Every structure is written in structure tokens, then in C-alpha cells.
Amino acid sequence: MFDEEGRALFYKVSSFYPNYDYDETDSEYSAMIVGQYRYNSDRLFEIAAKYGLIPPIKK
């Protein structure tokens, strides 16, 4: 959904993880862009909502 423009947001959200690692985050996002990752942007928003970073998502 966000392609390369979403990488900075992904870093910001990921940085809340206690074991945040820049290189691992970069690798995970690259895998997500090319479709090698099982989650998509919807999952990113679900996780952010779960941890109170954004308002709950209504389905």
C-alpha cells in the first residue's frame, strides 16, 4: 500500500518494540514490499491499534 514511502512509518512504529533493530526492521519491510511477507498494511494497523498507537479499527 505505501511502498517505499511507508518505510519511515514502519521504522517509527517498529521502534516501540523493546528489541527494535534497524537492520532487521529494514529487512522485514523490504520483504513485505516484494510480497515475501505474510502480513500487509492492514496487519500493521491492527498491531498499532492493539498497542494504542492509533484509535481502534472498526470492522
- The pTM score is 0.55
Helix axes 7-14, 22-33, angle to 10 degrees: 140
**What are the start-end ranges of the H helices in the chain?**
7-14, 22-33, 41-50
25 within some domain? yes
59 within some domain? no
Q: What is the DSSP letter of 6?
A: G
Q: How many domains does the chain have?
A: 1
For residue 14, the enclosing domain spans: 3-50
Sign of CA dihedral 18, 22, 23, 28: positive
pLDDT computed for residue 48 by the predictor: 79
10 within some domain? yes
30 within some domain? yes
pLDDT computed for residue 23 by the predictor: 93
Q: 10, 44 in Cβ contact below 8 A?
A: yes
57 within some domain? no
* Per-residue pLDDT reduced to its tens digit, 21-58: 999 989 888 887 877 556 667 777 877 788 788 888 77
pLDDT computed for residue 36 by the predictor: 59
